[in-house]
Chains A and B, each alone.
Chain A
Amino acid sequence: MNAEPILFIAFGALALIGAVAVIGFKNPVYSAIALIVTFFAQAGLFILLGAHFVAAVQVIVYAGAIMVLFLFVIMLLNLGSVDVDRPKAGIAKGAAVILGIVFALEGVYIAVNASKGTAVARVKRESAVGGGSISAMQLKELNKIQATYQLTRDEIDTEYVPKVAAADKTVEDLTADEARTLIQTLQGEMGKTERIGTVLFSKFLLPFEVTSLILLAALIGVIALVKREEPKEVS
């Protein structure tokens, strides 16, 4: 039995409940705890999607580092006890909720129709073509995967082909069905740290280096913002 729908509903419900709790609680500490629940549920969803590396980073960076920062500031400012959130005027709150519902309906409508007539649907249709030996399109797809993950044809032949067909076969001898399974296996592994690392340090090397500038800017900015003003020397 396929457990994905059950897990999706469980994690999805947990994420939504946590999200609503974040905006529902008066006490910011409780909101922060609810946010951690949401982050963990989302990490579960990432694992369901096969994105293991992203799930791990989600727990370490979001549920770990960022939430510690939040709780630290809440405690530093001693906001746990004071209620700074006076209730908003009814009309503003009502308008916000109505706008939110409209926004949600819009979002869900777009989401449900997202795969109709778009690039996503096209890929699905093309990969459904089968029968006979490996097609030129599948070979092209394999070449693309090979280039993206910087694999050699030998590696695919020795490591992945035996998983889907007889061990002595090479990519060119596969049938279309076997080739499809092979492509799916390779694509299913894209969440692995090794694959993400290869892509991150080849195709996205420059953006990766630029993120270090963002972090440096944030670091300097934070120090400049919260620096204690030094007492002026009296001369």
Chain B
Amino acid sequence: MSLEWYLALSALLFTVGVIGVLIRRNAIIIFMCIELMLNAANLAFVAISRELGDPSGQVFVFFVMTVAAAEVAIGLAIIVSVFKHRETVNVDEVDSLKG
């Protein structure tokens, strides 16, 4: 399969993630959609890495995974502490910063 197919699949996966962030209100599912987008980017990285014969892309995937793991840990901790105070994970109800 050529590079285009992998990049197109990556674009579609990314789009599904974007739509998820736009239409869902559950903070945890929004987080999962962010993971989906990061994964789509990883797929593009690996596909281009093979195309160029350059291993940097795969090393970058490694870094993206590290950042994703850190982000999930922090994000879920924030969700847990929001839930402790407000008994909800609905992002529309967490609007203290709304002007």
Whether, in the assembled complex, A73 has its beta carbon less than 8 Å from a beta carbon of chain B, the answer is: yes
Q: How far is the CA of A67 from the CA of B3 in the complex (A)?
A: 29
B77 pairs with A114, CB closer than 8 A: no
A129 at the interface (CB under 8 A from B): no
B46 contacts A222, C-beta separation under 8 Å: no
Pick the residue among B32, B53, B81 that contacts A31 (CB under 8 A): B32
Size category of the binding interface on chain A:
35 or more
From 140 to 164 in chain A, residues with beta carbon under 8 angstroms from any chain B beta carbon are: 145, 148-149
Quick check: A53 and B58 within 8 Å, CB to CB? yes
- The answer to whether B80 touches A108, judged by C-beta atoms less than 8 angstroms apart, is no
Distance A74 CA – B39 CA, assembled complex (angstroms): 21
Which among A12, A51, A62 is the interface contact of B35 at CB below 8 angstroms?
Answer: A62
B53 partner, pick from A48, A99, A187, beta carbons under 8 A? A187
Assess whether B39 is in contact with A39, with CB atoms less than 8 Å apart: yes
Chain A residues lying within 8 Å of B81, measured Cβ to Cβ, are 225-226
Whether A97 lies near B19 (C-beta < 8 A) is: yes
Residues on B with beta carbons closer than 8 Å to the beta carbon of A217: 70
Give residues of chain B (5-49) contacting chain A, Cβ–Cβ below 8 Å. Answer: 5-20, 22-26, 28-29, 31-33, 35-36, 39, 42-43, 46-49
Contact with A along B65-85 (1 / 0, CB 8 A): 111111111101111110100
Which residues of B sit under 8 angstroms from A32, Cβ to Cβ?
32
Which A residues are in CB contact (< 8 Å) with B9?
12, 15-16, 45
Please tell me if the beta carbons of A221 and B74 are within 8 angstroms of each other in the complex.
Answer: yes
Contact with B along A18-47 (1 / 0, CB 8 A): 011011000010011001001100100110
Q: Which residues of B are in contact with A by a Cβ distance under 8 Å?
A: 1-20, 22-26, 28-29, 31-33, 35-36, 39, 42-43, 46-56, 58-59, 61-63, 65-74, 76-81, 83, 88-90
Question: Which 4 A-B pairs give the minimum distances between C-beta atoms?
Answer: A107-B11, A111-B7, A218-B70, A187-B53
